[in-house]
């Protein structure tokens, strides 16, 4: 379904608690290279995992109102599992702009698993949400699904983007509960239920005790954007504004280079929004 009234060159706002949404941003740009883009990192409230659902709803609904008023996007991508499982419904109730959320890819993971033993690796907030539990009830279809809430991986991923030291032993400890070997079956699929985690995919694969399929939600989100906005037009070059950091902090040089690698122009020009 395409939305009517969308501009020939639509504006797409990609929103995350931090920098994990860059993985979704990159795939969305590939899908709609003709669009105008805005990337917003709510780093003043990072990490979302430790926040209550009520806090998240109050925060994200308010910040989103300012962003919509200032930038009039045609579509908003909530590139954060924790925010999506808590805030999508209130956002859709408050604002007319279409929202694309990011939720744990339990259905496709269970469909693809051969051993029928999968793990869902997310933030502590995502794995405890009723939304996630409902996905398991609706779509597990005989799969043994293990939920693992990581307290540190999102922060570790952000540290890596900033070229700060990353302790691989800590990563290995965070992912170890994902791997279950018993009753003649091994975990063969791990759902990455946080958009930060694909930033660590190389390390995750190297540190895994055996090979598994890692399910990155970003390509599916990009396909949903195409479903809603339609195929790209003739203008093949995206127009990207500087990244917005709600804290107003200026990115350090290493982070500025990382943002540039994702195609964000002028990444040193941080812009203050609600704090």
**What is the Rg, in whole angstroms, of the alpha carbon atoms belonging to the chain?**
18
Residues with catalytic annotation?
Answer: 80, 194
Residues with pLDDT less than 50, the chain: 1-2, 266-275
Number of helices and strands in the chain (H, E): 11, 12
Measuring CA to CA, how many Å separate 154 from each of 9, 102, 124? 33, 15, 11
Is the pTM for the entire model greater than 0.85? yes
What's the pLDDT at 231?
87
Long-range contacts of 201-208 (CB under 8 A, 24+ apart): 203/166, 203/168, 203/171, 204/171, 204/175, 207/168, 207/171, 207/172, 207/175, 208/175, 208/179
Domain 106-216: which CATH number of 3.30.300.30, 3.30.2270.10, 3.40.640.10, 3.40.50.1860: 3.40.50.1860
What's the pLDDT at 5?
54
Residue span(s) of the chain under CATH 3.40.50.1860 come to: 11-102+219-261, 106-216
To the nearest 10°, the Cα dihedral for 219, 140, 84, 131? 170
What is the C-alpha separation between 129 and 44, in angstroms, rounded?
Answer: 23
The architecture that CATH gives domain 11-102+219-261 is 3-Layer(aba) Sandwich (3.40)
What's the pLDDT at 195?
95
Which sign does the torsion angle of CA 259, 262, 266, 269 carry? Answer: negative
Count CB-CB contacts under 10 A for residue 274. Answer: 14
What's the pLDDT at 241?
74
What's the pLDDT at 76?
98
């Amino acid at each position: 379904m395409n939305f009517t009234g969308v501009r020939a060159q639509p504006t797409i706002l990609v929103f995350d608690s931090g920098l994990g949404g860059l993985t979704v941003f990159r795939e969305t740009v590939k899908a709609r290279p003709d669009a105008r883009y805005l990337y917003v990192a709510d780093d003043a409230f990072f990490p979302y995992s430790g926040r209550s659902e009520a806090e998240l709803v109050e925060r994200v609904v308010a910040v989103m109102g300012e962003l919509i008023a200032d930038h009039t996007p045609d579509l908003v991508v909530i590139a954060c599992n924790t925010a999506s499982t808590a805030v999508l419904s209130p956002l859709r109730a408050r604002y007319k702009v279409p929202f694309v959320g990011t939720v744990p890819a339990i259905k496709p993971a269970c469909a693809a698993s051969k051993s029928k033993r999968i793990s869902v690796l997310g933030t502590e907030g995502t794995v405890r949400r009723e939304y996630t539990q409902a996905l398991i009830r609706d779509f597990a279809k005989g799969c043994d699904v293990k939920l693992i809430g990581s307290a540190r991986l999102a922060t570790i991923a952000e540290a890596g983007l900033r070229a700060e030291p990353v302790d691989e032993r800590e990563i290995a400890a965070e992912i170890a509960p994902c791997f279950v070997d018993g009753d003649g079956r091994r975990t063969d699929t791990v759902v990455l239920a946080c958009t930060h985690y694909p930033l660590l995919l190389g390390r995750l694969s190297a540190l895994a005790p055996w090979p598994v399929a890692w399910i990155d939600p970003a390509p599916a989100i990009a396909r949903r954007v195409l479903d809603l906005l339609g195929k790209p037009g003739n203008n093949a070059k995206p127009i990207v504004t500087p990244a917005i950091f709600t804290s107003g902090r200026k990115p350090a040089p290493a982070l500025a280079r990382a943002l540039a690698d994702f195609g964000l122009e002028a990444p040193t020009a941080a812009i203050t929004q609600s704090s």
